[in-house]
Amino acid sequence: TVKRDGQTLKSIPISGGSPDNPTYNGQMVISEKFEQTRMDGSTVGFGGEYDIKDVPHAMRLSSSGTFIHGNYWGSPSIFGKAGTSHGCVGLRDQKGGGGDTPGKWFFNESLVGDVVIVKNSHDQTVKPDNGLNGWNLSWSEWQQGSAV
């Protein structure tokens, strides 16, 4: 569900991580946006399991390789029903990023600095130093790491 200023804009079915590779839970900050990027599993510890040269509408959520991005290679039936990724959040999209798709809409409505919240995943909460993800610390935990 996409919210702005507390108001729901849209609910978008997603495909998260698979049972073997779940998506992190927690609040993750969009740190980069790419209209199209290459995703190579060998750069994030997945060997040659995937190498997609033209992933559309990709937004980085962690420094370890978690993105929310367009997915044109998965069947439309997976969105809202099955986790199929290696930990990313996938949004239905088209090859080349054209058309009127949830992936394109989310990309156009999102800014670097926006917070994406993942709930009910079977994985741990993303670590605060894995990207801009200190949002998952309590105030007392935040102060413990402070120079104050």
- For the annotated catalytic residues, the residue numbers are 69, 88
Q: Which two tokens stand for residue 118?
A: 């993942």
Q: How far apart are CA 134 and CA 112, in angstroms?
A: 16
Distances (CA, A) of 69 to 20, 60, 140: 20, 8, 33
90, 69 Cβ separation under 8 angstroms: yes
